[in-house]
Structure 1
Amino acid sequence: MSLSKFDRKHYTQGKTPIEYLANLTDILGGPEIYLKHDDLLGLAGGGNKTRKLEFLVADAQRQGADTLITCGAPQSNHCRLTLSAAKKEGMHAVLVLSETVPGSYREDAGGNNFLYKLLNPLDMIVVPGACDLNDTMHLHAKTLQAEGYKPYVIPMGGSNAIGCLGYIVCAEEIVEQANDLNIEFTHAITPTGSCGTHTGLLMGLRSLHVQTRVIGISVNYSRDKHVKRIAQLAQKVNNELFPERKIVIENDDIIVFDDYIGSGYSLPTEGMREAVHLLARCEAILLDPVYTGKAMAGLINLIRKGHFKKSDKVLFLHTGGSPALYHFADYLL
């Protein structure tokens, strides 16, 4: 599938590496475990949203925008990377931060919150968790327009049809690397939150007729809600971007486990703590406590329950987020 018709920025040089986790594979005694290092993508601190932003920022500039508006939680990797992209492009950025967990925003917090201040957004607005973030962003866009700015609104996680292109590209990259390594991945594991990464990866693989099973580990919502959201996003990608060559995704091809969320989004779990410790101490890899920590906890538990064959080859997508580790230091140590 050619994506050359879509405008795109390039924030990363070359492909992110795939690493065989020999120590973790031995410790768990299950399938061969590999890791795709999207934590090494470009922009400040890296992470999966960089791939989405390559297409979203290009679209914003095509429309003549000079200001990016987006939203997320107080420790949002997406907000950090959107702000980073804006600085890279000489644009402004406005962040709308939602207190998904009441009282979770602290002005003096470290992690991504510190990086927001270092990168210096045009404005940063904190709203209650019950607030409609899309309405808030669009209302602020109107205010900015009245002040002479040209805003472009990016949804939560960059997860719209254009954002999904980032992981359609990633799927192509994985297939090329798998061919070079002479590996056929049986499964790909991804954190599933706003669903753009999961949707793009699944659509990209199926567009190449690769049957690797994509397994999402939910970090926030129920399995049913994610399955519905991924199906809707896939339909939007087809209708808006590929009307002449649709990528068919059946509902039974959308696999999500919602057993590893714990008490809620961004709230620590013992499984996450074990996963963060294990990867740091046996593979020198830093996971984050909100996304990859919980996704790896899910993978570890599925291996222990015998979900995979010993002959399987499992690719874990590291979506970044390590700056948030410093915010959760008291819990993790």
Structure 2
Amino acid sequence: MILHKLPRRRYIHGATPIEFLKNLTQQLEGPQIFMKRDDLLGLTGGGNKTRKLEFLVADALAEGADTLITCGAVQSNHCRLTLSAAKKEQLSCHLVLEERVKDSYHPEANGNIFLFHLLGADSITVVPGKSDMLHEMEKVANEVRKRGKRPYIIPGGGSNEIGAAGYTACAHEITAQIYEKSLTFDCIVCASGSAGTHAGLLVGMHSNSHHIPVIGVSTGRSKTDQEKIVYNLANKTAEHLKLKSFISPDSVHVEDDYIGQGYSLPTDEMRQAVSLLAKTEGILLDPVYTGKTMAGLIDLVQKGMFKKSDNILFLHTGGSPALYANTSLFTERGNNHCQNKD
């Protein structure tokens, strides 16, 4: 594997901690739940995209780019972190936001939208849900080229084989921590959205022969569709890294029972999971990814998927700035709204 030979910027300074969630474990009466704190990664507000951007931005700079263009939902953590990396590298940055929920973009909103303005995005283009996002980014890139600049397009979530290599590296980091701290894990649970994190972890665990199963909790797609996307990206990543063996379809496991009415739409279970982690461990989750993923883990525990003696590693992919645009969800009124949605 050529991971160590790839161009890479360094936005991470040391391994993120693995924390035992003693209070949550007691609340659920086992299994033993640990958390990999990738919400504490570098760049503005932290989160999993930082690992992907180390490789993506390095590739952009190697190509001579002076402008980054990327896309995401209106409260995109990926857009926030790409913009943050651009500022660190003194690059221009243009964002294309997909209004996946009609009329959900408000330029004066809190959360990530506030941070887009504070960090100084060069432009924000809002397009309707289900738009061809690559086409929309190419339109922005063409305008940038007309001004004599050199754009580099980063896909949504940073989830191509270049970005996913960041989570192959993370899998190796986890393996090192397992040995250093004499830990054992029976399963890793992570959000599965644009698929780069899920796919990269699978490749990393496969490449270092540390075959810990990875369960992805889908945040938008059906199990069948999401597993196909993860499988294809994992094997593109393995090929990119010049691995001699590839990921088998039966190693890709996605749970899709926790999406609710759709991507970013709240569920009562998500709201309860976010509140539970705040009140038991003092840890903030987000309403789109980690909240629904934790709701999934809690339900799987209650259904008896895991033995009480199992050690489960929950990957915290960040995203807490989005909480501040969704404060009403965590009031009594928000609770009623979630129940009505379901």
Spell out, residue by residue over 1:85-118, the C-alpha distance to the aligned partner (whole angstroms, 9 max, x if none).
0000000100000000111111111000000000
Q: Report whether the alignment pairs 1:269 with 2:267.
A: yes
- Give the Å deviation of 1:239: 3.1
Spell out, residue by residue over 1:7-38, the C-alpha distance to the aligned partner (whole angstroms, 9 max, x if none).
00111210000000000001101210000000
Asked if 2 retains the 8 angstrom alpha-carbon contact of 1:292 and 1:320, the reply is yes
2:191 alignment counterpart: 191
2:37 alignment counterpart: 37
Q: For 1:256 and 1:246, how far apart are their aligned partners in 2?
A: 25
2:290 alignment counterpart: 292
Q: For 1:247 and 1:26, how far apart are their aligned partners in 2?
A: 40
Asked if 2 retains the 8 angstrom alpha-carbon contact of 1:19 and 1:34, the reply is yes
Q: For 1:251 and 1:41, how far apart are their aligned partners in 2?
A: 31
Q: For 1:257 and 1:332, how far apart are their aligned partners in 2?
A: 25
Question: Equivalent residue of 1:235, what SS?
Answer: helix
- Give the Å deviation of 1:212: 0.8
1:136 alignment counterpart: 136
RMSD: 0.9
Question: Equivalent residue of 2:214, what SS?
Answer: strand
AA in 1 matched with 2:297: L
* Structure-to-structure mapping, 1:76-155, within 5 angstroms: 76-155=76-155
- Give the Å deviation of 1:4: 1.9
- Give the Å deviation of 1:2: 4.5
Spell out, residue by residue over 1:148-203, the C-alpha distance to the aligned partner (whole angstroms, 9 max, x if none).
11000000100001001100000000011111111111100000000000000011
* Structure-to-structure mapping, 1:126-275, within 5 angstroms: 126-242=126-242, 245-275=243-273
1:70 alignment counterpart: 70
Spell out, residue by residue over 1:272-326, the C-alpha distance to the aligned partner (whole angstroms, 9 max, x if none).
0110000000000000010000000000000000000111100000000000011
Asked if 1 retains the 8 angstrom alpha-carbon contact of 2:2 and 2:241, the reply is no
Spell out, residue by residue over 1:205-247, the C-alpha distance to the aligned partner (whole angstroms, 9 max, x if none).
11011121100000110111111111111222233331xx334
Q: For 2:235 and 2:57, how far apart are their aligned partners in 1?
A: 22
Question: Equivalent residue of 2:115, what SS?
Answer: helix
Question: Equivalent residue of 2:5, what SS?
Answer: coil
- Give the Å deviation of 1:143: 1.6
- Give the Å deviation of 1:65: 0.2
Query: How many aligned positions are there?
Result: 331
Question: Equivalent residue of 1:34, what SS?
Answer: strand
Asked if 2 retains the 8 angstrom alpha-carbon contact of 1:74 and 1:104, the reply is yes
Spell out, residue by residue over 1:54-100, the C-alpha distance to the aligned partner (whole angstroms, 9 max, x if none).
00000000000000000000100000000000000000100000000
AA in 1 matched with 2:222: S
AA in 2 matched with 1:219: T
Asked if 1 retains the 8 angstrom alpha-carbon contact of 2:19 and 2:35, the reply is yes
Provide the TM-score with structure 2 as the length reference: 0.95
Question: Percentage identity across aligned positions?
Answer: 56
Moved more, 231-240 or 258-267: 231-240
Question: Equivalent residue of 2:326, what SS?
Answer: helix
Q: For 2:20 and 2:72, how far apart are their aligned partners in 1?
A: 32
Q: For 1:26 and 1:100, how far apart are their aligned partners in 2?
A: 38
Asked if 1 retains the 8 angstrom alpha-carbon contact of 2:203 and 2:238, the reply is no
Q: Which runs of 4+ in 1 moved over 2 A?
A: 238-241
Q: Which runs of 5+ in 2 are unaligned?
A: 332-342
Asked if 1 retains the 8 angstrom alpha-carbon contact of 2:73 and 2:100, the reply is yes
Question: Equivalent residue of 1:4, what SS?
Answer: helix
Q: Which runs of 5+ in 1 are unaligned?
A: none
Asked if 2 retains the 8 angstrom alpha-carbon contact of 1:203 and 1:247, the reply is no
Q: For 2:210 and 2:18, how far apart are their aligned partners in 1?
A: 18
Q: For 2:111 and 2:261, how far apart are their aligned partners in 1?
A: 22
